[in-house]
């Protein structure tokens, strides 16, 4: 041993070890390195300049699509299977139904403009394709795919009736400008859902084109594009709707990038088992533009003073609200869905998309919702909601004749119509996930707890403010009672869906 | 807009399910929702208060026990509440009553003794009515309607609507409720009591046929935080309305004296003109944010919900005693002695376990024994606070002249309106708050300089009426006062003019006092500390940078600007103020008064690592170190020069060398381990000693590292001692008495002379005799004196956390720490010498190589004159 030449190396290792091990074990833990949410944000690929690649001339939208397909051979094939084009989901087994069904904008009704069927020419202005004007539309023709609506960066591309380029659009300029879809591309349709700016979603409106950080921290402070979160692969765009799609595939979550327990404050981290991020981080929505909270179709057709935010003869009466404090409900990600032909109880409020969950469902969190109520036509004999034809020369918006509009709509939608109709109350739940404000503007304790609470704790199934009565994991003091309350309070109970 | 928001909630609750809101229906519903929302929102402001969920109805009785609705007499709270609650017991024990009783109200320079109670009954309504009207009560007291004061508390309409306009303007916006925009007074009186131009009257609508209050008028409840706030300071629990900050408003007592504000609101979303407000996302007070009410901490001490003082007394085997007051007994006789700092103590540690949340903080117990939680958790006050109050001059209204700190970055006169000033807030100073048991911890305080006239041998304060008479004739200044003070001759005295800044003015007022028979009037000024316990913030915003305190510019010893005393006097530090004054009053560079806290006063006994040091010791250390370095350098230079000269002269041949196994594996291992550890200790110690030069390094981690390295050092030293004892190697370190001094001198002469001549080493170095006499001497000193001392002092310093009694017995940190520093300097000095001496072998790196590889090349005895120091060696003596 004495003569082992590198014995000193062993000694050095021992010395280092004898020091490093106790130091590692005994010194205080350094604060754990926080996971960096930017790791999950995709790097944007710089767009190729197409101005020299495309020479035109383009007579129609399909001409442009053909030109795109010369290089991007698979693109139209990819797009033609996405819900942006089909307006239908893959077949899914819905809660309370035996057979998987394909659902989507193409065959559902909502409680805004009600439904697409028979109204294609008006609705398909926002279809990512060309020429969908009736039920016979060819979804397999790749030249029907509209590349420009998502990729135009000239700002001059506008769609008109049946999704065709509007009169006077410079297709060549639009085609040469193509690039990564920006907020303007997505917002053109999604910020105008329901027929106009801010009408439908509450958390999506034109204030998000160029938002202040106080409106949306991701897009305002960090200049996010929609597709930074709605990440896209082969034209399949991440994210889902809770109103027209029941599939949880491609669900996006805050926790895709953010640790749920990232708060420095342990008390706040305690909440993440019960409360969705959105609940605290989206204190109000419709912060810049008022959103529609109620639509009464039964009042349509009168010659009254019109105001787009109060009354239109073609649509009826509206209520709009700004800076909307959301309604809160348990939600586990699943929704039921009212399908055409489902019976309703006209005396009750029919919830078109009952969100699933409850205090006793461990997978449920409290989420913020915008609630939209409506009075919309139903068949008093068959007790089913009706699909009116509104668009077109024979549609209600021209004739103001409900009977013929409902007749035409029913034929197009393939549902019976007895000729007897009235208006029934319906409700939709719109989960609020955008307009996330900076952490320093998120809700604080007193917004939900204590005297000035915005939460109706008993309606959520708690015996009282969980700050005093304990959370859902604690033994409920009045368990039986609270269970009943939960049943009564969660939107599921409206029984419109099945 | 909040009304609209409310309407949404109301609508959702009431209107949606099952209704068929055809047009008008919808509008009617939403209008109803609006009204409901408005009522809900404005409920705290007045209108119709919600009925008490628990309290039964009761008749209002007068002092004779008759129903006030028939007698029309003022309400007697003792009779009314006393019909169920033991009002005699409550009055006897009530802390508020005791504090306000005339005999207990000691002269307080802040209020000039104007605090004595005015004979009104204990006012249950003020705290327990959901919409108590303190402003109306104060109006009644001011109007001399003492008996009606409690009754006036039940007026619901805003006081401005009911009293004459002039009085309304004069009344301070004393209640938090007054901030809420009020609805115009409704046609029908909303409260039980109304004020009319003929006096107070009862609202017959509030009473049922049997003379009891109708249930909807019974709004008796636990005291709300804003009820406490209506007297104690700014409390704002409304989250919908932005807080309007009270700025230098002396009706908001605690806010006025300290800048404490209790509100759940984020500072950034409140309505205060606070500097950098947008970045202050913290709430004004974290406990308010976390939905605690004042009475959650300041509970009545016999409240069975909170009480931990139980009949079990000190029985250690019992953690809980269920034999306690039940609610009925408590509700009959709530003591109203509220837990506070001295009584029952709502101490932070009642609820918080710092050891769980402060795992990042070394020496937690040491910190928590030396520092109150508030020291770090109230790092800054964001509202202005009083800096000085000068009673030696009076405004035309007869009020003192104040200055406030935290305005425009310093001390300034109160602004004309809260919005007129940029509120910068202030960092409180830390004083030693002395507990009942004599222990003390640094706690945040505001210091207020109060000046007032005193006279007589015992320096009794001059009656305020006399001071008023000295300045004012009615409500105007007298001509000679105006002549002396009104420097801009505008006929009015501004706050800049209201100042005794010349002896002429002072003499004039003294003379005018003398004219009233008060001779020998003179100015007294004292500094009064006001403790800070609210406005607390959680960890994210608390002081958690070690170097906030542990460095030269320590926050603990930061000079605290003081408000000026009248007449330029140097104020004295108030005695009996519950603090130990760990500092003194001085002046800063611009001649402004400051309080300069100190750490190493006999009373404070603090030694703050990184800040405190004994300069003598550092100086001495540097000198020794420099001297040694110089000596070593000179010696080395001489060696080089002489060696070259010898080489040039052809010199002597090298002494013959032979290879010898000198150091065993263990000896080498423990040596190098100790080397690494000592280097580490020296460096981390240096960082701890002077952290400002190493600001990139985590102070806390350096402290930790130092401790762990010290532990390794001690264990290594102990193992090595065991080895040397067990193996007998220890002998090598022990000088042999015989001939030791001769040998030592011989060795010294070698270093001083022989080494330059190329003489052989005087003593043979062998495996069994590695050390020459000088080395033996040195190592004996190092290993038997310096090292143990350093270990002991270090352990005792560490023990300031673990066994503070022993540490304090042996001098405490102020003695031990500089001692430890001194030895560290000596160690460093030794290391330099030690490293140099390793080069004095037959060639410079031979010694170090030997300690690495074990083999040394030593001069062979045959060729050199080296003398063995073996006992058998022939040394010639």
pLDDT at B569: 80
Structural domain range at position A267: 181-447
Interval B485-542: pLDDT, tens: 988 888 888 888 888 888 889 999 999 999 998 888 999 999 999 999 999 998 889 9
Q: How many CB atoms lie within 10 A of CB B37?
A: 21
Q: Which residue has the higher pLDDT, A202 or B339?
A: A202
Average pLDDT over every residue of B649-655 = 60
Residue B875 near residue B868 (C-beta atoms within 8 A): yes
- Range with the lowest mean pLDDT among A411-425, B662-676, B749-763? B749-763
For residue B141, tell me if it sits in a domain: yes
- pTM assigned to the model: 0.83
Which residues lie closer than 8 Å to B432 by C-beta, 6 or more apart? B440, B441, B442, B443, B579, B580, B582, B603, B604
pLDDT band for A324, please (50, 70, 90 cuts): very high
pLDDT at A346: 95
Buried b (16+ CB within 10 A) or exposed e, A445-460: bbbbbbebbbbebbbb
The total number of structural domains in chain B stands at 3
Which of A296, A430, A428, A426 minimizes the C-alpha distance to A349? A426
pLDDT at A213 over 80: yes
Write out the two tokens for A243: 């109103």
pLDDT at B11: 34
Contact criterion met (CB < 8 Å) for A446 and B264 = yes
pLDDT band for A474, please (50, 70, 90 cuts): low
Write out the two tokens for B549: 């305190």
Contact criterion met (CB < 8 Å) for A11 and B668 = yes
Which of B136, B103, B137, B132 minimizes the C-alpha distance to B117? B103
Shortest CB distance from A373 goes to which of B16, B357, B712? B16
- Range with the lowest mean pLDDT among A118-127, B4-13, B216-225, B405-414? B4-13
For residue B76, tell me if it sits in a domain: yes
Interval B124-176: pLDDT, tens: 999 998 888 888 888 888 888 888 999 999 998 654 444 443 433 434 443 33
pLDDT at B163: 42
Q: What are phi and psi of B642, to 5 degrees?
A: -65, -35
Q: Give B-chain residues touching A446 at CB under 8 angstroms.
A: 237, 239, 264, 288-289, 291
Interval B67-99: pLDDT, tens: 999 998 999 999 999 999 999 999 888 888 777
Shortest CB distance from B540 goes to which of A8, A264, A467? A264
Q: In chain A, which among 229-268 make CB contacts under 8 A with chain B?
A: 264-267
Residue B360 near residue B368 (C-beta atoms within 8 A): no
Q: Based on the fold, state whether residues B720 and B834 are members of the same structural domain.
A: yes
For residue A52, tell me if it sits in a domain: no
Q: Based on the fold, state whether residues B73 and B201 are members of the same structural domain.
A: yes
Shortest CB distance from A294 goes to which of B1, B26, B668? B26
Long-range contacts of A165-174 (CB under 8 A, 24+ apart): A165/A60, A165/A61, A165/A130, A171/A56, A171/A58, A171/A59, A171/A60, A171/A61, A171/A63, A171/A64, A172/A54, A172/A55, A172/A56, A172/A57, A172/A58, A174/A64, A174/A148
pLDDT at A167: 92
The total number of structural domains in chain A stands at 1
Contact criterion met (CB < 8 Å) for A445 and B853 = no
Contact criterion met (CB < 8 Å) for B701 and A30 = yes
Which of B123, B130, B163 minimizes the C-alpha distance to B45? B130
pLDDT at A131: 94
For residue A41, tell me if it sits in a domain: no
Q: Based on the fold, state whether residues B33 and B78 are members of the same structural domain.
A: no
Contact criterion met (CB < 8 Å) for B18 and A425 = yes
CB contacts < 8 Å between A and B, how many? 146
DSSP B12-55: HHHTSTT----THHHHHHHHHHHHHHHHHHHGGGSSSPPPPSSP
pLDDT at B595 over 60: yes
pLDDT band for B659, please (50, 70, 90 cuts): confident
pLDDT at A299 over 80: yes
pLDDT band for B860, please (50, 70, 90 cuts): low
Residue B213 near residue B154 (C-beta atoms within 8 A): no
Residue B97 near residue B122 (C-beta atoms within 8 A): yes
Q: How many residues in total does chain A contain?
A: 498
Q: Give B-chain residues touching A349 at CB under 8 angstroms.
A: 16-18
pLDDT at B424: 94
pLDDT at A488: 36
Contact criterion met (CB < 8 Å) for B239 and A452 = yes
Q: How many CB atoms lie within 10 A of CB B308?
A: 11
For residue B162, tell me if it sits in a domain: yes
Contact criterion met (CB < 8 Å) for A325 and B9 = yes
Residue A118 near residue A417 (C-beta atoms within 8 A): no
Instruction: Quote the distance between the C-alpha of residue B167 and its chain's center.
Output: 41
pLDDT at B52: 64
Q: Give B-chain residues touching A7 at CB under 8 angstroms.
A: 665, 853-854
pLDDT band for A30, please (50, 70, 90 cuts): low
- Range with the lowest mean pLDDT among B306-320, B478-492, B551-565? B306-320
Helices (H), B82-146: 87-93, 95-100, 124-128, 134-142
- Radius of gyration of chain B from its Cα atoms, rounded to whole angstroms: 39
The pLDDT mean for chain B works out to 81
pLDDT at B106 over 90: no
pLDDT at B35: 45
Write out the two tokens for A219: 């897009």
For residue B821, tell me if it sits in a domain: yes
Q: Based on the fold, state whether residues B150 and B10 are members of the same structural domain.
A: no
Q: Based on the fold, state whether residues B679 and B774 are members of the same structural domain.
A: yes
**ipTM reported for the complex, 2 dp:** 0.84
pLDDT at B799 over 70: yes
Q: What are phi and psi of B535, to 5 degrees?
A: 70, 30
For residue A206, tell me if it sits in a domain: yes
pLDDT at B345: 61
pLDDT at B179 over 50: no
As a whole number of angstroms, the distance between CA B560 and CA B547 comes to 19
Q: Based on the fold, state whether residues B100 and B28 are members of the same structural domain.
A: no
Q: Give B-chain residues touching A444 at CB under 8 angstroms.
A: 239, 264, 266, 283, 289
- Range with the lowest mean pLDDT among B34-43, B125-134, B203-212, B707-716? B34-43
pLDDT at B697 over 80: yes
pLDDT at B755 over 90: no
Q: How far is the alpha carbon of A291 from chain B, nearest alpha carbon, in Å?
A: 12
Contact criterion met (CB < 8 Å) for A444 and B661 = no
With residue A411 as reference, give the H or E element that holds it. helix A402-413
Q: Give A-chain residues touching B22 at CB under 8 angstroms.
A: 296, 298-299, 375
Interval B6-42: pLDDT, tens: 333 333 333 333 334 344 444 444 444 444 444 344 3
With residue A405 as reference, give the H or E element that holds it. helix A402-413
- Range with the lowest mean pLDDT among A293-297, B275-279, B363-367, B739-743? B739-743
Q: Give A-chain residues touching B9 at CB under 8 angstroms.
A: 325, 454, 456
Average pLDDT over every residue of A298-316 = 95
pLDDT at B244 over 70: yes
pLDDT band for B650, please (50, 70, 90 cuts): low
Q: Give B-chain residues touching A27 at CB under 8 angstroms.
A: 701, 704-705, 708
Beta bridge pairs of residue A296 = A317, A375
pLDDT at B870: 43
Q: In chain A, which among 93-152 make CB contacts under 8 A with chain B?
A: none
Contact criterion met (CB < 8 Å) for A321 and B538 = no
Residue A272 near residue A434 (C-beta atoms within 8 A): no
DSSP A117-151: TT-HHHHGGGSSBS---STT--TT-GGGB-SHHHH
pLDDT at A452 over 60: yes
The three state secondary structure string of B657-684 is EEEEECCCHHHHHHHHHHHHHHHHHHHH
As a whole number of angstroms, the distance between CA A160 and CA A166 comes to 5
Burial class (CB in 10 A: 0-12, 13-18, 19+), A55: exposed
pLDDT band for A19, please (50, 70, 90 cuts): confident
Most confident among A428-442, B140-154, B556-570 (mean pLDDT): A428-442
pLDDT at B31: 47
Q: Based on the fold, state whether residues B675 and B801 are members of the same structural domain.
A: yes
**Domain-ending residue, one of B357, B389, B406:** B357
Q: Based on the fold, state whether residues B184 and B35 are members of the same structural domain.
A: no
Contact criterion met (CB < 8 Å) for A425 and B668 = no
Q: Based on the fold, state whether residues B110 and B206 are members of the same structural domain.
A: yes
Percent of chain B with pLDDT over 90: 33
Write out the two tokens for A132: 């969908």
Q: In chain A, which among 285-314 make CB contacts under 8 A with chain B?
A: 293-294, 296, 298-299
Shortest CB distance from B540 goes to which of A11, A18, A265? A265
Shortest CB distance from A444 goes to which of B1, B30, B266? B266
Residue B237 near residue B288 (C-beta atoms within 8 A): yes
pLDDT at B334: 93
* DSSP character at residue B102: T
* A57 upstream amide cis, omega within 30 of 0: yes
Percent of chain B with pLDDT over 70: 83
Structural domain range at position B135: 68-241+282-357
For residue A69, tell me if it sits in a domain: no
Question: Helices B812-837 and B615-648, interaxial angle, to 10°?
Answer: 0
Q: How far is the alpha carbon of B353 from chain A, nearest alpha carbon, in Å?
A: 14
pLDDT at B173: 40
For residue A7, tell me if it sits in a domain: no
CA torsion angle B547 B553 B556 B558 (round to 10) = -150
Which of A468, A487, A423 minimizes the C-alpha distance to B25? A423
Mutate to test the interface with B, among A266, A319, A430 (most CBs of B within 10 A): A319
Write out the two tokens for B591: 């001649």
- Inform me whether the C-beta atom of residue A426 falls under 8 Å from chain B C-beta atoms: no
For residue A420, tell me if it sits in a domain: yes
Q: Based on the fold, state whether residues B724 and B766 are members of the same structural domain.
A: yes
For residue B392, tell me if it sits in a domain: no
pLDDT at A487 over 70: no
**Domain-ending residue, one of B309, B337, B357:** B357
* Strand ranges for B622-760 from DSSP E: 657-661
As a whole number of angstroms, the distance between CA A420 and CA A5 comes to 104
Average pLDDT over every residue of B646-674 = 77
Q: What is the CATH number of the domain that holds B622?
A: 1.20.950.20
Residue A146 near residue A127 (C-beta atoms within 8 A): yes
- Range with the lowest mean pLDDT among A39-48, A485-494, B841-850? A485-494
For residue A40, tell me if it sits in a domain: no
For residue A114, tell me if it sits in a domain: no
pLDDT at B859: 66
Contact criterion met (CB < 8 Å) for B708 and A27 = yes
Write out the two tokens for B734: 């022990």
The pLDDT mean for chain A works out to 89
pLDDT at B94: 87
pLDDT at B27: 45
pLDDT at B534: 93
Interval A110-142: pLDDT, tens: 999 999 999 999 999 999 999 999 999 999 999
Contact criterion met (CB < 8 Å) for B268 and A31 = no
For residue B396, tell me if it sits in a domain: no
Interval B294-306: pLDDT, tens: 999 888 888 888 8
As a whole number of angstroms, the distance between CA A189 and CA A128 comes to 10
Which residues lie closer than 8 Å to A10 by C-beta, 6 or more apart? none
Which residues lie closer than 8 Å to B315 by C-beta, 6 or more apart? none
Q: Based on the fold, state whether residues B94 and B186 are members of the same structural domain.
A: yes
As a whole number of angstroms, the distance between CA B791 and CA B518 comes to 67
Beta bridge pairs of residue B587 = B593
Sign of CA dihedral A306, A311, A312, A313: negative
pLDDT band for B198, please (50, 70, 90 cuts): confident
As a whole number of angstroms, the distance between CA B532 and CA B375 comes to 9
Nearest CA in chain B to A458: B13
Q: Hey, is A306 helix, strand or coil?
A: coil
For residue B768, tell me if it sits in a domain: yes
Q: Give B-chain residues touching A293 at CB under 8 angstroms.
A: 8
Residue A315 near residue B2 (C-beta atoms within 8 A): no
Shortest CB distance from A19 goes to which of B30, B237, B676? B676
Q: How far is the alpha carbon of A265 from chain B, nearest alpha carbon, in Å?
A: 8
As a whole number of angstroms, the distance between CA B396 and CA B482 comes to 11
Helices (H), A282-400: 396-399
Shortest CB distance from A28 goes to which of B281, B676, B700? B700
Q: Give B-chain residues touching A23 at CB under 8 angstroms.
A: 705, 708-709
Average pLDDT over every residue of B614-629 = 91
Contact criterion met (CB < 8 Å) for A323 and B705 = no
Contact criterion met (CB < 8 Å) for B239 and A456 = no
pLDDT at A50 over 90: yes
Q: Based on the fold, state whether residues B14 and B116 are members of the same structural domain.
A: no
Contact criterion met (CB < 8 Å) for B708 and A373 = no
Q: Give A-chain residues touching B676 at CB under 8 angstroms.
A: 15-16, 19
Contact criterion met (CB < 8 Å) for A27 and B705 = yes
**Domain-ending residue, one of B357, B381, B415:** B357
- Between the CA of residue A25 and those of B677, B687, B708, B715, what are the distances in Å? 16, 22, 9, 16
Q: Give A-chain residues touching B711 at CB under 8 angstroms.
A: 22, 26
For residue B117, tell me if it sits in a domain: yes
């Amino acid at each position: 041993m004495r003569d082992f030449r590198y014995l000193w190396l062993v000694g050095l290792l021992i010395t280092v070890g004898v020091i490093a091990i106790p130091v590692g074990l005994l010194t205080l833990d350094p604060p754990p390195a926080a996971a960096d949410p930017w790791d999950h944000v995709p790097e944007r690929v710089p767009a190729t300049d197409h101005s020299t690649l495309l020479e035109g001339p383009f007579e129609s939208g399909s001409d442009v699509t053909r030109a795109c397909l010369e290089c991007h051979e698979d693109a139209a094939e990819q797009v033609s299977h996405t819900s942006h084009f089909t307006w239908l989901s893959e077949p899914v087994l819905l809660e309370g139904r035996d057979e998987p069904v394909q659902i989507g904008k193409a065959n559902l009704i909502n409680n805004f403009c009600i439904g697409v069927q028979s109204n294609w020419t008006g609705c398909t202005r926002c279809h990512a394709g060309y020429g969908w004007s009736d039920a016979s539309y060819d979804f397999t023709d790749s030249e029907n795919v509209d590349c420009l609506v998502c990729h135009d960066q000239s700002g001059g591309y506008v769609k008109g009736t049946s999704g065709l380029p509007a009169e006077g659009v410079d297709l060549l300029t639009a085609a040469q400008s193509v690039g990564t879809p920006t907020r303007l591309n997505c917002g053109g349709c999604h910020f105008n859902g329901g027929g106009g700016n801010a009408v439908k979603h509450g958390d999506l409106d034109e204030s998000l084109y160029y938002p202040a950080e106080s409106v949306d921290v991701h897009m305002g402070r960090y200049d996010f594009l929609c597709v930074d979160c709605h990440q896209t692969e082969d034209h399949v765009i991440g994210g889902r709707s809770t109103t027209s799609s029941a599939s949880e595939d491609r669900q996006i979550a805050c926790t895709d990038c953010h640790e749920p327990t990232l708060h420095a404050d342990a008390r706040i981290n305690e909440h993440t088992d019960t409360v969705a991020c959105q609940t605290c981080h989206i204190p109000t929505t419709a912060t810049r533009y008022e959103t529609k909270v109620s639509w009464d179709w039964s009042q349509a057709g009168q010659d009254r003073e019109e105001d787009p935010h109060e009354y239109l003869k073609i649509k009826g009466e509206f209520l709009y609200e700004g800076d909307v404090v959301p309604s809160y409900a348990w939600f586990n990600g699943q929704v039921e869905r009212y399908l055409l032909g489902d019976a309703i109880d006209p005396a009750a409020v029919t919830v078109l998309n009952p969100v699933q969950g409850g205090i006793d469902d461990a997978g449920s969190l409290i989420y913020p919702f915008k609630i939209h109520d409506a009075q919309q036509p139903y068949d008093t004999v068959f007790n089913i909601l009706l699909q009116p034809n509104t668009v077109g020369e024979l549609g209600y918006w021209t004739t103001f004749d409900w009977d013929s509009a409902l007749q035409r709509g029913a034929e197009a939608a393939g549902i019976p119509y007895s000729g007897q109709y009235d208006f029934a109350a319906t409700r939709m739940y719109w989960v609020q996930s955008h307009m996330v404000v900076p952490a320093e503007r998120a809700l604080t304790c007193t917004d939900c707890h204590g005297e000035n609470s915005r939460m109706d704790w008993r309606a959520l199934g708690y015996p009282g403010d969980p700050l005093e009565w304990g959370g859902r994991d604690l033994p409920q003091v009045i368990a039986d009672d609270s269970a009943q309350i939960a049943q009564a309070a969660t939107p599921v109970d409206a029984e419109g869906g099945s | 807009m909040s009304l609209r928001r409310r309407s949404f909630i109301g609508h959702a609750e009431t209107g949606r399910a099952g209704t068929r809101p055809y047009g008008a229906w919808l509008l009617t519903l939403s209008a109803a929702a609006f009204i409901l929302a408005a009522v809900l929102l404005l409920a705290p402001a007045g209108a119709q208060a919600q009925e008490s969920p628990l309290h039964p109805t009761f008749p209002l009785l007068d002092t004779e026990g008759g129903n006030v609705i028939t007698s029309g007499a003022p309400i007697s709270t003792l009779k009314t509440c006393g019909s169920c609650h033991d009002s005699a017991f409550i009055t006897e024990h009530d802390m508020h009553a005791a504090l306000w009783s005339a005999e207990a109200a000691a002269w307080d320079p802040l209020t000039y003794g104007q605090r004595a109670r005015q004979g009104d009954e204990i006012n249950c309504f003020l705290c327990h009515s959901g919409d108590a009207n303190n402003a109306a009560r104060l109006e009644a007291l001011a109007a001399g309607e003492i008996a009606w004061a409690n009754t006036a508390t039940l007026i619901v309409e805003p006081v401005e609507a009911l009293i004459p306009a002039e009085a309304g303007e004069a009344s301070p916006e004393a209640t938090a409720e007054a901030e809420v925009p009020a609805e115009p007074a409704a046609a029908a009186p909303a409260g039980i009591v109304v004020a009319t131009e003929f006096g107070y009257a009862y609202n017959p609508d509030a009473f049922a046929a049997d003379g009891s209050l109708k249930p909807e008028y019974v709004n008796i409840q636990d005291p709300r935080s804003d009820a406490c706030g209506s007297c104690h300071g700014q409390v704002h629990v409304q989250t919908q309305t932005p807080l309007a900050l009270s700025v230098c408003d002396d009706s908001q007592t605690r806010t006025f004296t300290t800048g404490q504000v209790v509100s759940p609101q984020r500072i950034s979303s409140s309505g205060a003109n606070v500097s950098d407000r947008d970045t202050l996302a913290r709430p004004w007070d974290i406990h308010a944010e976390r939905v605690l009410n004042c009475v959650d901490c300041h509970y009545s001490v016999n409240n069975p919900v909170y009480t931990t003082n139980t009949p079990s007394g000190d029985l250690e085997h019992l953690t809980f005693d269920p034999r306690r007051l039940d609610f009925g007994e408590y509700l009959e006789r709530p003591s109203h002695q509220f837990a506070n700092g001295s009584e029952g103590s709502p101490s932070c540690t009642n609820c918080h376990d710092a050891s769980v949340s402060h795992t990042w903080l070394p020496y937690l117990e040491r910190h928590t024994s030396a520092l109150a939680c508030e020291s770090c958790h109230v790092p800054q006050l964001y509202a202005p606070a009083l800096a000085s109050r000068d009673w030696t001059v009076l405004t035309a209204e007869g009020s003192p002249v104040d200055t406030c700190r935290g305005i425009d970055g310093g001390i300034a006169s109160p602004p004309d309106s809260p919005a007129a000033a940029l509120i910068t807030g202030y960092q409180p100073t830390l004083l030693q708050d002395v507990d009942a048991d004599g222990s003390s911890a640094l706690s945040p305080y505001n210091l207020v300089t109060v000046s007032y006239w005193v006279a007589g041998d015992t320096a009794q304060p001059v009656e305020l009426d006399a001071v008023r008479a000295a300045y004012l004739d009615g409500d105007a200044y007298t001509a000679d006062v105006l002549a002396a003070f009104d420097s801009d001759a505008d006929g009015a005295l501004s706050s800049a003019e209201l100042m005794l800044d010349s002896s002429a003015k002072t003499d004039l007022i003294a003379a005018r006092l003398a004219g009233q028979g008060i001779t020998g009037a003179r100015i007294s000024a004292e500094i009064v500390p006001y403790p800070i316990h609210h406005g607390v913030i959680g960890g994210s915003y608390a002081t958690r940078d070690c170097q906030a305190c542990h460095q030269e510019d320590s926050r603990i010893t930061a000079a605290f600007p003081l408000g000026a005393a009248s007449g330029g006097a140097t104020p004295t530090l108030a005695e009996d103020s519950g603090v130990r004054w760990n500092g003194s009053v001085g002046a800063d560079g611009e001649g402004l008064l400051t309080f300069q806290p100190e750490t190493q006063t006999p009373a404070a006994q603090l030694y703050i690592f990184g800040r405190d040091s004994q300069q003598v010791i550092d100086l001495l250390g540097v000198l020794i170190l420099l001297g040694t370095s110089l000596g070593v350098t000179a010696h080395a230079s001489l060696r080089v020069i002489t060696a070259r000269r010898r080489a040039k002269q052809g010199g002597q041949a090298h002494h013959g060398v032979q290879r010898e196994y000198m150091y065993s594996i263990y000896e080498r291992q423990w040596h190098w381990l100790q080397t690494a550890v000592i280097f580490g200790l020296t460096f981390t110690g240096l960082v701890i000693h002077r952290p400002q030069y190493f600001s990139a390094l985590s102070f806390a981690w350096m402290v930790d590292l130092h401790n762990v390295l010290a532990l390794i050092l001690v264990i290594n030293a102990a193992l090595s001692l065991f080895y040397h004892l067990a193996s007998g190697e220890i002998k090598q370190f022990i000088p042999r008495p015989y001939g030791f001094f001769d040998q030592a001198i011989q060795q010294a002469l070698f270093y001083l002379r022989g080494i330059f001549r190329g003489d052989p080493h005087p003593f043979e170095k062998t495996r069994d005799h590695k050390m020459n006499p000088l080395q033996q001497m040195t190592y004996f000193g190092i290993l038997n004196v310096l090292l143990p001392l350093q270990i002991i002092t270090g352990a005792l310093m560490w023990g300031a956390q673990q066994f503070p009694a022993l540490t304090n017995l042996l001098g405490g940190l102020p003695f031990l720490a500089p001692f430890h520093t001194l030895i560290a300097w000596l160690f460093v000095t030794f290391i330099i010498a030690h490293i140099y001496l390793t080069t004095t072998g037959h060639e410079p790196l031979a010694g170090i190589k030997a300690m690495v590889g074990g083999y040394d090349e030593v001069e062979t005895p045959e060729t050199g004159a080296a003398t063995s120091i073996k006992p058998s060696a022939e040394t010639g003596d």
